Chains A and B, each alone.
Chain A
Amino acid sequence: MQLDQLYQEIILDHYKRPHGRGLRDAEDPADQVAEAHHVNPTCGDEVTVRVATDGDVLHDISYDGMGCSISQASASVLHELLRGRGAGEAFAVHEAFVELMSGRGQVTPDEDVLGDGVAFAGVARYPARVKCALLPWMAFKDAAARAGVGASPEVKA
């Protein structure tokens, strides 16, 4: 059934048992910490993503928000995939996720890059839900830029 492609088990798992949820202070007081709050104006979903970084490594990505299963699971996957990664690597993953979501179901995701993020391939076929999946990722991008680790010039999202 079509619906199973959208609501993959992985997505429902992340939704029901989110990883790393809740906004946290940086463990290392020397870290730059910044956050961004994004809202989906069509449905009122909200997410706040906070990034703690020393400028190279994203020590923590914490988040809080309210929204549908897709946006909440997406935040959980974002946390899991990018926390502890180098900024360059993280933005490569970010780019791959944005590309997957903008692909209208035509992009084959690379599991080595996207991990549990591949489960969102089905979401890309539902234009009304793409924004839900991207909401935390867009907030992450702004938060990272505010923490001083902007996307490298060749990355466009």
Chain B
Amino acid sequence: MTTITIPEGMPQFDDVPRFDVAAVRADFPILDRQVNGHPLVYLDSANTSHKPRQVLDALTEHYALHNANVSRSVHTLGTEATEAYDGARAKIAAFVNAPSVDEVVFTKNSTEAINIVAYAFSNASPRADADPRFRLGPGDEIVISEMEHHSNIVPWQLLAERTGATLRWFPVTDQGRLDESGLDDLVTERTKIVSLVHMSNILGTVNATARITARVREVGALLLLDCSQSVPHLPIDVVDLDADFIVFTGHKMCGPTGVGVLWGRGELLAAMPPVFGGGSMIETVTMAGSTFAAPPARFEAGTPPIAGAVALGAAVDYLTGIGMRAIQWHEKELTAYALDALSAVPDLRIFGPTVPVGRGGTISFALGDIHPHDVGQVLDSLGVQVRVGHHCAKPVCTRFGVPAMTRASFYLYTTTEEIDALVGGLEQVRKVFD
């Protein structure tokens, strides 16, 4: 057994922060439902998380009582809506320890946040008066990794095509870790930006970034971390991380769909050209041309996801109330339990780290040569919801020589009984297809 659970009654039991999982589950209305005649076993939180009543209430309360557009009215409702929207920004800034509220840009999701940075490079590249850190051309390099989500691949491929820059990749080791052995050859004076996933949505790996950050600073490049999977599950402090940009997405962290965040160092955002043009992002507009607002407004053209941001603020309050350290520890225990339980399933191969260290609660695997679609379908008939497919990370599937994987992912409301249901379900899968 490699479980790391500290039994109740041991002196160490109180050394780690804990919360009452049953009480947390009671906050999530959807967890009461049945699926195909079985209690719901939701193991797909890496895809999207469920929302507690507190978040749903914030959403309806906003629409029911404070609905108005933001930043453009003097009336009472407009003022309330603006205060709520700005208040949400402050909560999110505090959640990731951003030095300034103005460093938090609301976007639609992580994908849009990454694209904003990529297109800012595009827009700056042809302009001699643009900040040189954002100018790219032939000979310049963009570095990503083989374990990225497509959201952190395609925008850079397109940017490289538009500018003539070269895209380079960190490889992944057989254990599913980022291969940093070639760091000094990969990140060089030619590198303009390094964009890496903080926690892999497919392998579960949490990347240690200190060496990479040091190298990025040494060569004068910029560092973006895709924190879509880490912000929901671990305490994140942008000052500690020392990145230049991070992105995350509301729906994976108990918030609603339709709202995400780009955090950038204030000085960098100020130097970055706008991407979308429209209302709210301008300083002044004349027929001869326009000048632009300071960040974050510069990057929030048009009516933003107001209610979504407010509800995301409520999600952050909810997570903070439970405590990110406690959530992290809960998931660490679950991951240790699940790795142990899955390793006892015949013919099961785990992709990614097989020890609960430097990884989060997202575990991808193959069950013999049974196709993940079929695994997922049988599990669904038992109420167990897992994700199957390439998980928007095809290069990882290619790296491990499979077209698709089955993935179970956990969150604060996940229980060991649910992991048992998964393991039991896998027995059933083997019976149907053996």
| A residues whose Cβ falls under 8 Å from a Cβ of B | 1-3, 6-7, 12, 42-46, 66-70, 126, 129, 132
Contact = CB atoms under 8 A, between A and B. Distances in A.
Interface residues of B, number: 17
Contacts of A132: 373
B401 to A, nearest CB: 11
Q: Interface majority SS on B: helix, strand, loop or mixed?
A: helix
Contact of A67 (B36, B394, B403, B432): B403
B389 interface: yes
B404 A44 contact: yes
B371 interface: yes
Given A2-B36, A67-B371, A69-B371, A44 B397 contact: yes
Contacts, number: 51
Contact of B432 (A3, A42, A70, A126): A3
A43 B377 contact: no
Given A1-B381, A12-B433, 11 more contacts: A2-B36, A7-B374, A7-B378, A43-B388, A43-B404, A44-B397, A44-B403, A44-B404, A69-B433, A126-B377, A129-B373
Name, among A43, A44, A129, the residue most crowded by chain B CB atoms within 10 Å (CB to CB): A44
In the A-B complex, the 6 residue pairs with the smallest Cβ-Cβ separation, listed nearest first, are A68-B373, A68-B371, A3-B381, A43-B389, A44-B403, A44-B390
Contact of B378 (A3, A42, A45, A66): A3
Interface string B396-434: 010000011000000000000000000000000000110
Name, among B36, B404, B433, the residue most crowded by chain A CB atoms within 10 Å (CB to CB): B404
Contact of A69 (B374, B388, B394, B403): B374
A3 B404 contact: no
Contacts of A12: 432-433
B403 A6 contact: no
Contacts of A69: 371, 373-374, 433
Contacts of A42: 389
Given A67-B403, A68-B374, A43 B390 contact: yes
A6 B149 CA distance: 31
A75 B388 CA distance: 21
Contacts of A70: 373-374
B133 to A, nearest CB: 35
A50 B397 CA distance: 26
Given A1-B381, A2-B381, A3-B432, A43 B36 contact: no
Interface in B345-387: 371-374, 377-378, 381
B377 A6 contact: yes
A7 B373 contact: no
Nearest to A69: B374
B28 to A, nearest CB: 24
Given A2-B36, A7-B432, A46 B403 contact: yes
Contacts of A126: 377
A1 B381 CA distance: 9
11 contacts: A1-B381, A3-B377, A3-B381, A7-B432, A43-B388, A44-B394, A44-B397, A66-B403, A68-B371, A69-B373, A70-B373
